[in-house]
Amino acid sequence: MTSDELFAKIQTQFPKIEKAAVPVKDYLTVRLPAKDALVPLAQWLKSNGFDYLDMLTGTDYLGPVDMKGYIRQSNFNVFLPDGATPEIESAANPAFAYKPVIDLLWSFISIHEKARVIVKLELPREAASAPTLSGLFKTADWQERETFDLLGVTYEGHPNLTKILTPDFLQGHPLRKDYVHIKDRFDE
């Protein structure tokens, strides 16, 4: 089945779903109109052979990274060659349309058909939440916890939405563009 044929099938069931303006590689990439469409689409995909959730991730499109609080002295890494510097400056790209949203991305795979569908959902940063897929796909459990921990996205109905990568004392979400690291006992 080609991407166009698969998209036609999806649109028959979900007419409000559109192709994403910028696809991920050459995979069929669709954009959800609202978070309420996620679970029905995921159920439909699973019942049509897309039985594996390969990846769930997110991107914060607020703007350039705020470098406050990050280690910035020259050559703090002993593995870097002399004279090398790990310093980077975060600069705004005037050609990019920054906006206060978090864009979530799910990658569903049909192992039998050797096909992949990318599903995207744009959420407002201040109330970033989506329904959980952990009841449908076991692989969603830890991936949802990861995006919760690093981006602050909550998943409605998740059975154990707790931090998974950062220590409990760390405040904030490190992959958010406005994250400012507060020095702790591990910065010495």
Please tell me the pTM assigned to this model: 0.86
pLDDT tens per residue across span 15-49: 999 999 999 999 999 999 999 999 999 999 999 99
* Angstrom distance (rounded) from CA 119 to CA 19: 9
The DSSP element (H or E) to which 147 belongs, if any, is: helix 140-151
What pLDDT does residue 89 have? 63
CA 161, 164, 165, 170 torsion: positive or negative? positive
Better-scored residue on pLDDT, 86 or 38 = 38
On average, the pLDDT of the chain sits at 89
Best CA proximity match to 10, nearest among 34, 25, 32: 32
What is the C-alpha to C-alpha distance for residues 42 and 108, in angstroms, rounded to an integer?
A: 8
Q: 138-154: per-residue pLDDT in tens?
A: 999 999 999 999 999 99
Interval 149-173: pLDDT, tens:
999 999 999 999 999 999 888 888 9
141-179 burial code (b ≥16 CB/10 A, e <16): bebbbbbbbbbbbebeebeebeebeeeeeeeebebbbeb
Neighbours of 50 (CB within 10 A): 25
3-state secondary structure of 125: helix
Going from N- to C-terminal start, the domains of the chain cover: 3-156
The region of weakest confidence among 22-36, 50-64, 71-85 is 71-85
Is there a contact between 119 and 109 (Cβ–Cβ < 8 Å)? no
Are 128 and 151 in contact by the 8 Å Cβ rule? The answer is yes
Q: Say if domain 3-156 classifies as CATH 1.20.120.330.
A: no
